[in-house]
Amino acid sequence: MTVLLINAARAFAMVAFADGKLAPIEAKRFASVVAREPAFANAGHAEIAEAWETATREVHSAESFGMALLAIRSRTREAADKAVIMRTAQAAVVADGKLELQENKAITSLAEALGLDPEAF
């Protein structure tokens, strides 16, 4: 699994779990988003599923999103990679069919961690 894929999975999981729960539809939405993203054209279903499982386990077991944000920030330097991560994370905001304030706050935290203007997202 690539660094970009696991970091995109972490970002999606972090935003999806910001409301305190992960709905089964969110896993399907992640797989769908990643399958359409050109940056992940070489990722197979098993690799995408492994990234999701790893990311959700990390995010769910942590007391805060600090470790996920640190992992994403420390290994994401290129503007194109940051854009992929933000697109993926934004898809998580409405993945469960609900718009939650906590998920928007997670997007803001992610943008700040990546050195991006949160107002752009």
- Could you report the per-residue pLDDT of 6-26, keeping only the tens digit for each? 999 999 999 999 988 888 999
Q: d(Cα 55, Cα 8) in Å, to the nearest integer?
A: 9
Q: What is the pLDDT of residue 99?
A: 79
Q: d(Cα 70, Cα 87) in Å, to the nearest integer?
A: 18
Q: Is the pTM of this model over 0.75?
A: yes
Q: What is the pLDDT of residue 54?
A: 96
Q: What is the pLDDT of residue 95?
A: 86
Q: Which architecture does CATH list for 3-120?
A: Orthogonal Bundle (1.10)
Find out whether 33 and 91 touch, Cβ atoms under 8 Å. yes
Q: Which residues of the chain have pLDDT under 70?
A: none
The whole-angstrom distance between residue 42's C-alpha and the CA centroid of its chain comes to 18
The whole-angstrom distance between residue 14's C-alpha and the CA centroid of its chain comes to 6
Q: What is the pLDDT of residue 100?
A: 83
